[in-house]
Structure 1
Amino acid sequence: MKKLVPFIILGLAAISVTACKHPGKEPEVVVNTPTTTDDIVKDIYTDNFGDKIEVSINHTMNTATVHLDGKTYELTKSDDLPDYTASNSEYQYSNIRGNITFLKRNVDMVLFHHKVDKKESGATKMASY
């Protein structure tokens, strides 16, 4: 039994030395991601009913992405219509002087409409003579 103890200790030492070796440091991998230079504007609008629409306008590509009720609509800018208007074969988005309208073109059904809050003018100052 006394002869087995040194062999057991040497065996445990050999196992612990091999188990404790950590792998060398892995080389760092540098990933070059292309930087986009697109001019993108994102806005969120809320209508009178509490519905929210998220609009991302890419001025570089002349496209608009509209997120409404969990659906995404891809539209392209239309230069024929006033202010900022984008459309595809089924839907039309327009931002005319801050009035946001998103409608289904085939049936002229408005899916979302946001009106600009009219700012109240400050106190009117009148000259007194």
Structure 2
Amino acid sequence: MKKLLLPVLFGLTIISLTACKHPGKETETITAVVPENTDDISKEVYMDSYGEKIEVTINNTKNTATIHLNGKTFDLKKSDALPEYTASNEEYQYSDIKGNITFLKKNVDMVLFHLKQAKKESGPAKMASY
């Protein structure tokens, strides 16, 4: 009996060790589908003579403008009735007319940011000789 007990225990140990091994977990791969952004977006940063910066993000597809000035964000809608690019909401108005950039508070007519960009100078004029 003692001779039989040792091989039986050894056999049970081997069977239990091989039976308890689980197959390795399969790694799950999750692929997130990122929708393509097909909006026509332009972003500009302007600095005036006082050193203030304004960040203007224009979404031409949705006709919106997002203005970042002094840590605040302003969402504006494009106004088709006003000249060139002008966007406004109930309180604020942004305009970019021939390089003259203005951001103002409408109800008190207070200009929050103004920049008149210098015109791009062309090279010296060439004259034709005959």
How does the TM-score come out when normalised to structure 1? 0.75
Q: Which residue of 2 aligns with 1:61?
A: 62
Larger Rg: 2
Deviations along 1:46-89, whole A, 9 cap, x unmatched?
11111110000001111000000000000000000000000000
CA distance in 1, matches of 2:27, 2:88: 50
CA distance in 2, matches of 1:30, 1:118: 49
Q: Which residue of 2 aligns with 1:73?
A: 74
CA distance in 1, matches of 2:79, 2:128: 48
Q: Which residue of 1 aligns with 2:28?
A: 27
Q: Which residue of 2 aligns with 1:104?
A: 105
Structure 1 segments unaligned to the other structure (5+ residues): 1-22
CA distance in 1, matches of 2:128, 2:41: 47
- Alignment RMSD (CA, Å): 2.1
Q: Which residue of 1 aligns with 2:17?
A: none
Structure 2 segments unaligned to the other structure (5+ residues): 1-23
Report the count of equivalent residues: 108
How does the TM-score come out when normalised to structure 2? 0.74
CA distance in 2, matches of 1:58, 1:124: 38
Q: 1:126 to 1:60 in 2, by over 3 A?
A: closer
Q: After TM superposition, which residue ranges in structure 1, 4 or more long, deviate above 2 angstroms?
A: 118-129
Q: Which residue of 2 aligns with 1:90?
A: 91
- Look up the SS of the partner of 1:106 in the other structure: helix
Q: Which residue of 2 aligns with 1:44?
A: 45
Deviations along 1:16-53, whole A, 9 cap, x unmatched?
xxxxxxx6352110111211211111100111111110
CA distance in 2, matches of 1:106, 1:68: 18
